[in-house]
Amino acid sequence: MASLRHEGRDSLSGIEKPAVESSEYYTQNEQPNTGNLNVRAMAPEERVRIEKSLLRKLDARCSYFVVIYILNYLDRNNIGAARLKGLQEDLKLSDTQYATCLSILYVGYILMQIPSNMFINRIPRPSLYISGVMTIWGLISTLTGMAKGFGGMVAIRFLLGFVEAAFLPGALLILSKWYTRRELTKRNAILFCGNLISNAFSSLVGAGVLSNMDGVLGHRAWRWLFYIEGAATMFVAVCAAFILPDLPTNSRGFTEEELLVAQLRMTEDVGEADSDSADMGIFDGLIMVVKDWKVYLMMLTFTAYTTGLSFNAFFPTLTGTLGLAYVPTLLLSAPPWVFACIFSLINAWHSDRKQEKFGHIVGPICMGLVGFIISMATLNKAARYVALFLQAGSYAGFIVFYSWISSSFPRPPAKRAVALAMINAFSQLGNVAGSYVWDLKANGYRNSYGIVTAMFGVTIVGCWVIRMVLVNQNKKLALGEESAWEVHDDVANQTARVEGLKSEGADLKPQIGFRYLV
């Protein structure tokens, strides 16, 4: 295909850009996969047809992330169900040692997230990377069933967190490379349904295994729980290499037209191609994130939110305060998470439709606050069970927050990758703290509920400050007083190349139209 020429005014800086042969800026792997298609002649209705086909395939393949996330959380949180059937007693763990086994996972989780996302942003086949790390964490999860004491359990949990760290920020980054800001929250919600379903599913699986496997082949039931779930993880990991998509420039299973439209959609979304400049080094994304103080504000706010949601790891134990046997306790732990999944999808869909973030985060938090207050105010079983539904529903805002991160750091991808990983990694300190928050058992965990109530209050304040900052930046963007990101010549020319492949008569919104979502 003949190289395209692009000249005009930089939409953010207002500086005239010289005409440049766009092909000179790209390696073979970096150039848009345009082939010999005459896309300029594509009719608008043909574009709509191709885009629908693209989204159908993409949604089907990305739905596999849900299966992976279910297993990710099963492997991480099944220790809570195992505790109910003798893990703590068999390993002779004190309450503090058990809390350490929970929290040490997040140490490994925190350490690996940023390097992993920096790596996954630079490789052409992220599907193979996700498949590989999933196989390893499935093996480590299986080894949990062989732990003999506190030291072995701590080592296994640390390694599990270290390897599992690659999945969530990597999946969020991959989704942000395919879906526009108007679509991303709903897809993130579908992904996080894997988290929410796992909370329900783990209780059901735990009830089945712990009730029927005790003593089989001489092993305690809680050990079989780790063996079975770890083996399932490794099987799903192998399939992931063939199912998950890679990048809009090279992913298998899509037609050439669909890949072109995928690239065009991301360019239309904010007015610039979703590519890093060839001049950027390995650590440039990290440096940009460190210099952006919005990241620190989101880190602190998200950490408070995560601390408030730390009841997740103790949910079977909190359900146990209803005073029932362990199997009914596990079974009753499931319905609140089914409710949370449905509510999260509705909340995310409405957030995408309205292109609004703050209210769709704070609303579910307020729901959770009502649940916390009920749990502190009464020991009535029915009221406390209703409160568990409200607490689980507070996860809906957590999901919207992730898409708020992606939309607040749209370009370049290297910065977005590090921002997602850094904010998510730092927020895991909330889970570390939460491991000890729920060690306060008196009066149905009343003191613990008091702490997470305070954390939700901090989260609301933090979200309001973030909103005010973004509103102020939008005003400056409208007045031309600042730019949302630095424009590089090679990326500008890749943008021009994709623009040149648009349908006749279609209008690509200039980059100057970009505004942060609040």
For 146-176, the pLDDT digits (tens) are 988 999 999 999 999 999 999 999 999 999 9
pLDDT at 37 over 60: no
User: What pLDDT does residue 445 have?
Assistant: 84
Say yes or no to pLDDT of 498 above 80. Answer: no
Q: Is the pLDDT of residue 19 over 70?
A: no
pLDDT on residue 500: 64
Overall average pLDDT of the 26-52 stretch: 61
Task: Render 422-442 in DSSP notation, one character per residue.
Answer: HHHHHHHHHHHHHHHHTT--H
pLDDT above 80: residue 36: no
Q: Check whether 378 has a pLDDT greater than 80.
A: yes
Measured between alpha carbons, how far is 482 from 511 in angstroms, rounded to an integer? Answer: 13
pLDDT tier at 203, thresholds 50, 70, 90: low
DSSP H/E element including 9: strand 5-9
What would the pLDDT profile of 70-127 be if each residue is shown by its tens digit? 888 888 878 877 887 788 888 898 888 988 888 888 888 889 999 999 999 999 999 9
16: which strand partners? Answer: 9
Q: With contact defined as beta carbons under 8 Å apart, do 80 and 314 qualify? A: yes
- Look at residue 366 and tell me whether its pLDDT is greater than 90: yes
Q: What is the pLDDT of residue 482?
A: 73
Q: Is the pLDDT of residue 40 over 60?
A: no
Residue 217 clears pLDDT 60, i.e. is over it = yes
CA 53 from chain center: how many Å? 25
What's this model's pTM, rounded to 2 decimal places? 0.83
d(CA 328, CA 226): 21
Q: Is the pLDDT of residue 503 over 70?
A: no
**Single-letter code of the amino acid located at 123:** I
Phi, then psi, of 6 in degrees rounded to 5? -140, 130
- Over residues 212-218, mean pLDDT: 78
Phi-psi region of 480 (alpha: psi -120 to 50; beta: other; left: phi over 0): left
User: Is pLDDT of 197 > 90?
Assistant: no
Q: What is the 3-state secondary structure (H, E, C) of 310-379?
A: HHHHHHHHHHHCCCCCHHHHHHHCHHHHHHHHHHHHHHHHHHHHHCCCHHHHHHHHHHHHHHHHHHHHCC
**For residue 328, cis peptide bond before it (omega within 30 degrees of 0):** no
Of the two residues 453 and 39, the one the predictor is more confident about is 453
Rounded to an integer, what distance in angstroms lies between the CA atom of residue 204 and that of residue 350?
30
What's the token pair of residue 486?
Answer: 């630095």
User: pLDDT class for 512, splitting at 50, 70, 90?
Assistant: low
